[in-house]
Structures are given as C-alpha cells and as structure tokens.
Amino acid sequence: MNHIAYMSRAVRPLSDQDLQELLAQCRRDNERNNVTGILFYSHGNIAQLIEGDSEVTRPLFEKIALDGRHSNVVKLTDKPITARSFPDWSMAFHPINPEGFGALTGFFLPHKMPATPDTLSIADALLVDLVRQAVFGANTTAAESAGVGS
C-alpha cells in the first residue's frame, strides 16, 4: 500500500452542490477500488490524501491530475505505508478555514511552514495534526515534520 497527498487550485469556486457531487463520485469510485482518504477544501484550495494499493492510487492520481475542475496540481508525497490512516473513510471531507489551510500547506511543504495562527480553530488544528501524522508518522512532532533539529 501507499499514500499520495497533493494540493491544487479549483478553476472556479466550488459550490456546496459541486462539493456534494464530487464527494459522491469519490466515495463511489473509492469504495469500488478500496481507496480511502480525506479531502480538504477552502476558498478554491484543495488538498487530498488518498491511500490504497499503489497499482490503484498511482493511476488514480494521474487521472485526478488531468481533471479539468482544478489546476496547479502538485504531488506532495507518494510513499509506502504499512497501515491506512483513514481505514473507515472512503473519502472524508472537511471544509477548512484559510488559516487552517495555510497550516496544512506548511505541514505538506515544511520549508514553507508558517507559525500556527492564533485564530486557527480547534477543529482545523486537529485535522492538520491528523494529516501530519498520516504523512509523517504517528510519533512525529510538528518540529520533526518541519525538519527542525534534524
């Protein structure tokens, strides 16, 4: 198994209806292909982590990268995993506030890691931490994921 995380930019803002349709499609396809993960959306910014057999996730990412609903698709990680971080979620979804998305970007791109804003909601902080643990490992601290002290 492996997981792939990426970020992208929606070509137009997604309405609640657009998001519901996207999630229904993701969940249907992911259940069929035994893929799990989480999708974040904030004011046109998209971040997603998918996990499953590499024979499925790599072609799936290539398909996602060509999807015309978004642009500037940047793969952030593609690595083997021993266990799923989101085993029960065919595709979890969470709208995230701009400060939370900035912090999420920092965890994926440690060289751009911003200080955690005081305005970050508890829910966003927990989700950012959950994704950091999924990407860098459950025993990794924020400083370690940023390369501090290495």
Under-70 pLDDT residues of the chain: 92, 94-150
pLDDT tens digits for 86-96?
887 777 675 66
Q: Do the Cβ atoms of 9 and 72 come closer than 8 Å?
A: yes
> What letter represents residue 29's amino acid?
D
Give me the residues paired with residue 51 across strands.
3, 36
Task: Quote the CA–CA distance of 150 and 84 in Å, as a whole number.
Answer: 27
pLDDT at 22: 85
pLDDT at 130: 62
pLDDT at 120: 52
| N- to C-terminal Cα separation, the chain | 27
CA nearest to 5, candidates 131, 124, 89: 131
Here the tokens at position 7 are 């970020």
Here the tokens at position 94 are 């969470």
